[in-house]
Structure 1
Amino acid sequence: MSDTQEKRGYTADGPYETPTRARSGWTGFVVFGGIMLVMLGSFQAIEGFVALFKEDQYLVTRNGLTLTMDYTSWGWTHLFLGLAAIAIGIGVLLGQMWARVLGIVVAVLSALANIAFLPAYPIWCVIVIATDILVIYALAVHGDEVQGP
């Protein structure tokens, strides 16, 4: 059966097109969420590399962090979250359900990691946390408007 025959049906009045799901304006918001996951993942990875290779860049002593961990541990945490967010953001852009679920999980973990990292860079962390909240909203409420293949 050809591609056009699969999309058409017949009634007593003649052929009709099978209705397709209309995309709303919220689709762009979900795409925004996917792009932000990729971008935030990149930023998290950079933050992780800085913590791993240039500890003196941070202006707070290790004891000033909310959780007592060295910068190497935080570097690996941010690097892992960053790489996961990049992969999941690509999945969200492709409309995959697993990526929506994992995107919400990664955004929550990213927000929690940045809460603990607030003493080192408060303004940056607040921006990342706010963006994580927008991503969570986009994926949880309107994520089904971007469908995969």
Structure 2
Amino acid sequence: MTSHASQARPHTGQRSETRAFVGGWTVFAAVLMIFGGLMAIFAGISAIANDDVFVNTRNYVFQFDLTGWGWVHLILGVVVFLAGLALFQGATWARVVGVALAGLSMFANFLWLPYAPFWALALITINGFVIWALCAPRNREA
């Protein structure tokens, strides 16, 4: 005897797999990417505005124009933010792009160390957690 509940709802294997996929570490990585992207956007806007928030250091191995770095952080922050939003859809390409963008963001924040050391180290750590969360093994069974 079959129940009416199993006849009423068709099997949606793809949809349930996506729901299981967008859980746990992927959500964690998405939230961190959105936060890290927003913080990079704010740092970029602050550097572009020539605000007194950042100190321009001398005699550092990596000397760059502060306004130029502001644009780099602004653009990278927007892309990281959008990739974090895409992770909620469960797309595999978003995970791959997320790992690449988190690595690129880590590198940009390493070069940002002379301008905001504590902030750069915090964002490097966040991006490290993003890479770890996106590369963590997943349980495909819901």
CA contact (8 A) 2:33 2:84 kept: yes
State the alpha-carbon separation in 2 of the partners of residues 65 and 51 from structure 1: 18
Runs of 4+ with deviation above 3 angstroms: 20-24, 63-66, 142-145
**Contact 2:110–2:120 (CA under 8 A) maintained in structure 1:** yes
Partner in structure 2 of residue 68 of structure 1: 63
Equivalence for 1:132: 127
Give the aligned partner of residue 13 of structure 1. none
TM-score (structure 2 length as normaliser): 0.79
Distance in 2 (alpha carbons) for counterparts of 1:92 and 1:38 = 10
Larger Rg: 1
Alignment of 1:29 onto 2:28: no
Higher normalized strand content (fraction of residues)? 1
Can you give the 5+ residue segments of structure 2 that lack an aligned partner in the other structure? 1-6
C-alpha distance 23-48 of structure 1, shift in aligned 2 (>3 A): same
Q: Secondary structure at the match of 2:55?
A: coil
- Percent identity (aligned): 29
Structure number with the bigger relative contact order (C-alpha 8 A, sep ≥ 6) is 2
Name the structure 1 match of 2:47.
Answer: 51
- The one of 45, 63, 79 aligned to 1:84: 79
Q: What residue is the counterpart of 2:4 in the other structure?
A: none
> Gaps spanning 5+ residues in structure 1: where?
9-16
Please name the residue that 1:12 is paired with.
none
